[in-house]
Amino acid sequence: MSTAVITNIGELATNDPERDGLLGLLHDAAVVVDGSRIAWVGPAAEAPDADVQVDAGGRAVIPGFVDSHSHLVFAGDRSAEFEARMIGEPYTAGGIRTTVAKTRAASDEQLTSHVARLVAEMRAQGTTTVEIKSGYGLSVPDEARSLAVARQFTDETTFLGAHVVPADTTPEDYVDLVTGPMLAAAAPHARWIDVFCEDGAFDVDQARTILTAGSDSGLRGRLHANQLTYGKGVQLACELGLAAVDHCTFLSTLDVESLRDSRTIATLLPGVEFSTRQPYPDARGLIDVGVRVALASDCNPGSCFTSSMALCIALAVREMRMSPAEALHAATAMGAAALDRNDVGVLAPGKAADLVLLDAPSYVHLAYRPGVPLVSGVWQQGRPVVSG
């Protein structure tokens, strides 16, 4: 196995808690990669020799983004729905169910090539770890194959049979299906189980039933909650000790206290609020009381079709009053924590060699230059997978 040293790094964000500040910044730094792992991090002048030398040219280097929330397995296009929303026309009923019909009609090959294209799009923008949910199949075979497709691209697969109740069944019958035959078919392909806990989707009692059944089948829980209205989803997530509860847009004082007193990560998805003209979650208020906050894309065809973690960072800074350092940390180390991972999101010896070179002198440019493609190189598991 060969070693490589990436040297002449103008600014290196390590996220290493052993170093100073939230990001553990180093200047004039180098990183040594051995196989798929990081072997050494420190001042460029002290870097050990390696088989291959890479000159970063003074660029900033950050950990690869960890996007802990996406819905990439789908077919069809909903740009007309977006356009209607943006010009003020009312929603036509359908939404998720429109995508379900297209997804069921697509072949395995069509779904796989579509996910491959989106994962490549993410990687080119610096995402090196991505969680992918099912949830547009909503039948036993279509949920199982959605997860089998996702599994080709990531270990972080999530069974979201409880996305919405399909039109041809009752909520009671559907929860029985999700917790019975569908869970049995999905579990071999999934690490996680998720529920869309919201008015019009699944209530808190149904969410508890589904998450408990998933846990009994060896799946860890995560939850969509408090996106559109106040509700009990966030408190359920904290009570059950889930790794993450996602959206957290409408929070009561009790919700915030529950998050503060738990280890559950609040994953904020500001691309959704941007794309639906909803109010943004109160990231500043959460962080100020000590809640652990992650950022993710929620890339999906309906409410937010961006794959750009840099956009999420820019929105978090501009619209949610996170500092640029908090936003980068939330999009990397905290995304890893939301997936219960400690091998990614940090650049330190022994961790995965997943890193991003920015065509910029500092990570701050991710928010300072919104919309500009700054990623000039991506290393994943010790290999350059994108080079500028």
Q: Which residue is nearest to Zn ion (CB)?
A: 298
Nearer to Zn ion, 156 or 298 (CB): 298
Nearer to Zn ion, 25 or 234 (CB): 234
- Give CA–CA dist 236/269, Å, rounded: 19
Q: Is-contact 245 234, C-beta < 8 A?
A: yes
Smallest separation, CB 39 to Zn ion (Å): 37
- Give CA–CA dist 201/153, Å, rounded: 28
Binding mask 91-130 for Zn ion (x = CB under 5 A): ----------------------------------------
SS3 of 279-324: CCCCHHHHHHCCCCEEECCCEECCCECCCCHHHHHHHHHHHHCCCH
User: Applying CB under 5 A, what is the total number of residues that bind Zn ion?
Assistant: 1
Tokens for 158, please give them: 């999530």
Q: Given CA atoms 364, 367, 369, 375 in this order, what sign does their dihedral have?
A: positive
Nearer to Zn ion, 255 or 298 (CB): 298
Smallest separation, CB 157 to Zn ion (Å): 14
DSSP string across 39-91? EEEEEGGGPPP-SEEEE-TT-EEEEPEEE--B-----S--HHHHHHHHTTPPP
Smallest separation, CB 219 to Zn ion (Å): 17
Nearer to Zn ion, 136 or 174 (CB): 136
Smallest separation, CB 286 to Zn ion (Å): 19
Nearer to Zn ion, 132 or 375 (CB): 132
Q: Which of residues 286-325 bind Zn ion (CB under 5 A)?
A: 298
Regarding 131 and contact with Zn ion (CB under 5 A), the answer is no
Q: Which of residues 186-215 bind Zn ion (CB under 5 A)?
A: none
Binding site for Zn ion (CB under 5 A): 298
